[in-house]
Chain A
Amino acid sequence: MDPMEAIKQTYFQECDELLLAMEEGLIAMESGEADSEMINAVFRAVHSIKGGGGAFGFEILVGFAHVFETAMDQVRSGKLSPSADVVKVLLRAGDKLSDHVSAARAGGGSEVEDSDVKEELRRLTGEEGEDDGPPAADFEGLAFSPIQIDIGDDPVPAPVSVALPSWNIRFAPHAGLYAKANEPFLLLRELATLGSLEVQADLSRLPELAALEPDQAYFAWNIVLHDCQDRAKIEEAFEFVLGDCDLDISELKAEEPAAEPAPEMPVAEVAAPVVHEAASPEKKPAVAAAAEPIKQTIRVDLDKVDRLVNLVGELVITQAMLSQRLMECSAKNSTAGGGLGELEHLLRELQEAVMAIRTQPVKSVFQRMPRLVRETAAQTGKEVRLVIEGEATEVDKTVIERLGEPLTHMIRNAVDHGLESPQDRVAAGKPAEGTVTLSAEHRGGRIVIEVSDDGRGIDRARVRQKAIERGLISPSANLADEEIDNLIFLPGFTTANQVSNISGRGVGLDVVRRNILDLGGRIGIGSVQGKGSRFSLTLPLTLAVLDGMIVAVGDQTFVLPLTHIIESLLPKASDVRRFGSNGTLLNVRGVYVPLVGVGRLLGVPNSKKDLASSVAILVESEGTGRMALAVDAIVGQRQVVIKSFESNFGHIEGIAAATILGDGRVALILDIDSLVAGCRESVAKPSELQLAAGAKQ
């Protein structure tokens, strides 16, 4: 890749990070929690986006960032106080800047309408609208010309005309010039690029050796520069040292004698006397002491991490195989077994450590939500406060990446459908401003993300009505509250009478649910009418390993994800009931659940036909409820490394992935949710189940 193109990619990546930091700072300012460092960080973010943008010629972006930066500069210097109104404008400016970055990333063509926000920013700063003028003025280039540098060379063509003026320059450095590491020799060299040069060192101020102070300046130079058009060019050459020297430039009139000869001394080889006393060590800068330690990070190609994850996975498998071999050669009592146990323990730690590399705080997704809420609130005319909790909770990067879409949808949903209009809220005795809470926490090896609102809650009568209208349930169905709530996850379900611009773009909660299920997660819903609703997503921390129960069915071995298993039991023959043509029910302490043989379901040869003599494993899936799976035997429980085969075989209903067992055999990992969903449809409808249960009692 073209290196500049690569840097541009880096720039956009960095912009994403900076925009997040900016957003974070602005939100802290909004809630009045921002300290000066946070305000500074916002300023720096805008500043850096502008700086990089300038380098790539994104002029519109730079123009906007400049106005924004000016405002932020005034805020950080205390000239502009960050009142609620000011922060509101800044937040809008932040959104706009982010649009600008997106537009720049998308390439030319798309323009972002920013004049109103720009105008507001200018009003804040008191800067008159100069019609996008500032950036140009801001980037005055250094115009010194990079040409040959050897003094020996004659860079100017032999003077053909005598029209070019000559200059008399007296240059006497102060000590400060040397202290700042400027070097007269280099200045002279620079001058030599402008024309032909006569230099004479003035050593008259040089004292006796005994009186010489090493860090004082004693030399001066009398210079005649011929054939230089422009006085400005000469001044520019001295740009860095103005104020640290006596400089006198005057045009040399024709026929005037050249610089008056200085005291006849040889033109010395000039070595600038730059020797400094070591500074007093106790004067450490205060900044260093105040600086807090920041976490050191490195950026690593994701492929490398994934390779590591894979290798560790293989290692775990190999260890399992080794341990099995050892069992087989009946060396149970040897000390090798103990060593192997130790190894297993270490491997597990290693695996956790490697997985932790892939984890990131959910913050990166959560931070996009405030803007979403603001926009949705503005479009729906609602007043919304977003509360975010647990944003430091870490979860696998892949999970984070795929969390954005469902979360976006759920947040929009909460604002658009969940919350009432301010008038309705006041009428219901609630504050006009609604609250949407987004939280994340680790719970039992999984991450739970909740989106809750204090809105109207689910109107179950309406949901039921709608579901009947759409033929999703029969009018006579007798559903529990929970079951009604879950109806909103069905494809094609929407309660909004009019499809709104916000939530109803044909993507329903069913898609959210699908997304979450694909991640190996579950989605739940709780709602109290008039008080609000709560959606909770339960997701695995990683997609690379899972704790599974290994079961045998016929000649085959399968893995059931432990997260879905409630219990396993040996059913009594009397607890197993035939139901309907080929359905079977299992009585689990008075509650009937469908019992399905995994062997029959998947067509495994040689599996036990008699369900009553097999082992029943009670599983639960989010949304569709419980059922019992009959297997021949339970082999054990262990952590397995997930090997996806979707890229080779595509999606297979009922099978989530595969893994390699200790004995080297491949075992399929069952997708409980789709198995259960599939079975419940074919075996029995919930209402029928209740009938059956009623008949029994």
Chain B
Amino acid sequence: MGKTILTVDDSRTMRDMLRLALSGAGHTVIQAVDGIDGTEVLDNAGVVDVIITDINMPRMDGYGFIEQVRRGSANRATPILVLTTESEPAKKMRARDAGATGWIVKPFDPDKLLAAIRRVSP
């Protein structure tokens, strides 16, 4: 039942909250601080069940990270959820064009987060 989930966010607060919500639901959480870190963590972790990533990050943002994953990593078929405070359709569309599976609007409560994960991962 428990999934392995990678979260990518440059905010420590957000990382802690994601970890709390996800590990509380029995998932295994691995974390990265930006797109480049995320790519490296994935290289080591192999295939994960779900990836959750922020958009605004230093070094490599969420769009770049998603494109990188979709462009032929072992995780190219892994569902990717985008964390966004922006509800503007443009941001979501851009994330989707990059290959995002879905999105979670911040701030999220744990139920919302887990529901979104259920929607993209068996």
Contacts and interface: CB of A to CB of B under 8 A. Distances in A.
Contact of B12 (A14, A187, A244): A14
A10 B16 contact: yes
Interface in A34-77: 37, 40-41, 43-44, 47-48, 50-52, 54-55
B13 A11 contact: yes
B120 A139 contact: no
A7 B11 contact: no
Contacts of B20: 3-4, 7
Contacts of A52: 11, 13-14
B64 to A, nearest CB: 4
B57 A44 contact: yes
A54 B105 CA distance: 11
Given A146-B118, A186-B120, A287-B64, A181 B79 contact: yes
Interface class of chain A by DSSP: helix
A240 B114 contact: no
A390 to B, nearest CB: 25
A182 B64 contact: no
Interface in A165-187: 179-183, 185-187
Interface string B89-106: 000010010011111111
B70 interface: yes
B85 A138 contact: yes
B58 interface: yes
Query: Which of A13, A51, A138, A243 has most B Cβ within 10 Å?
Result: A51
A352 to B, nearest CB: 30
Contact of A14 (B13, B56, B60, B78): B13
Nearest to B110: A146
Interface stretch (A277-285, A435-443, A528-536, A655-663): A277-285
B114 A185 contact: no
A181 B101 contact: yes
Contact of A276 (B57, B72, B114): B72
Contact of A139 (B105, B111, B122): B105
B46 to A, nearest CB: 16
A180 B99 contact: yes
B107 interface: yes
A190 B120 CA distance: 10
Interface string B7-20: 00011111011001
B119 A144 contact: yes
Contacts of A54: 85, 106-107
B79 to A, nearest CB: 4
A530 B41 CA distance: 61
A182 B60 CA distance: 24
Interface string A256-300: 000000000000000000101111110101011001101000000
Contacts of A279: 71-72, 76
Interface in A182-211: 182-183, 185-187, 190
A149 interface: yes
A139, A181, A237 — most chain B CB neighbours (10 Å): A181
Contacts of A43: 56
A113 interface: no
A140 interface: yes
Nearest to A17: B12
A260 B72 CA distance: 40
Given A10-B12, A43-B56, A291-B36, A182 B79 contact: yes
A142 interface: yes
Interface size class of B (residues with CB under 8 A): 35 or more
A239 interface: yes
B77 to A, nearest CB: 5
B80 interface: yes
A487 to B, nearest CB: 49
Interface string B63-77: 010011011100011
A51 B86 CA distance: 10
A150 B9 CA distance: 31
A530 B10 CA distance: 50
A159 interface: no
B39 interface: yes
A240 B101 contact: yes
A579 B86 CA distance: 81
A285 B101 contact: no
A55 B107 contact: yes
Nearest to A47: B56
Contacts of A243: 93, 96
B17 A181 contact: no
A190 B116 CA distance: 10
A445 interface: no
Could you say which of A11, A14, A48, A149 has the most chain B C-beta atoms within 10 Å of its C-beta? Answer: A48
A279 B70 CA distance: 9
B115 A186 contact: no
A179 B99 contact: yes
Contacts of B14: 48, 51-52, 55
Contact of B115 (A13, A142, A187): A142
B92 to A, nearest CB: 9
Given A10-B13, A48-B10, A180 B101 contact: yes
Interface string A3-46: 11011001101100000000000000000000001001101100
A133 interface: no
A397 B6 CA distance: 34
A187 B14 CA distance: 28
A277 B58 CA distance: 30
B32 to A, nearest CB: 12
A288 B121 contact: no
B120 A7 contact: no
Nearest to B93: A243
A294 B71 contact: no
A294 B72 contact: no
A141 interface: yes
B97 to A, nearest CB: 9
Contacts of A285: 60, 64, 67-68, 71
Contacts of B78: 181
A185 B119 CA distance: 10
A240 B102 contact: yes
Given A55-B17, A141-B112, A44 B79 contact: no
Interface in B16-32: 16-17, 20
* Of listed B11, B39, B118, residue having the most chain A CB within 10 A: B11
28 contacts: A7-B20, A10-B13, A11-B13, A50-B85, A54-B106, A54-B107, A137-B87, A139-B87, A139-B107, A144-B119, A146-B118, A180-B70, A181-B120, A182-B102, A183-B79, A183-B120, A183-B122, A185-B122, A190-B118, A190-B119, A239-B102, A280-B72, A285-B68, A287-B35, A287-B60, A288-B36, A288-B64, A291-B36
Which 3 residue pairs spanning A and B have beta carbons closest together? A279-B72, A240-B102, A146-B115
Given A7-B16, A48-B11, A138-B86, 16 more contacts: A3-B20, A10-B13, A44-B57, A47-B85, A51-B106, A54-B85, A55-B17, A139-B85, A140-B105, A142-B115, A180-B101, A182-B101, A186-B118, A240-B103, A287-B35, A287-B36
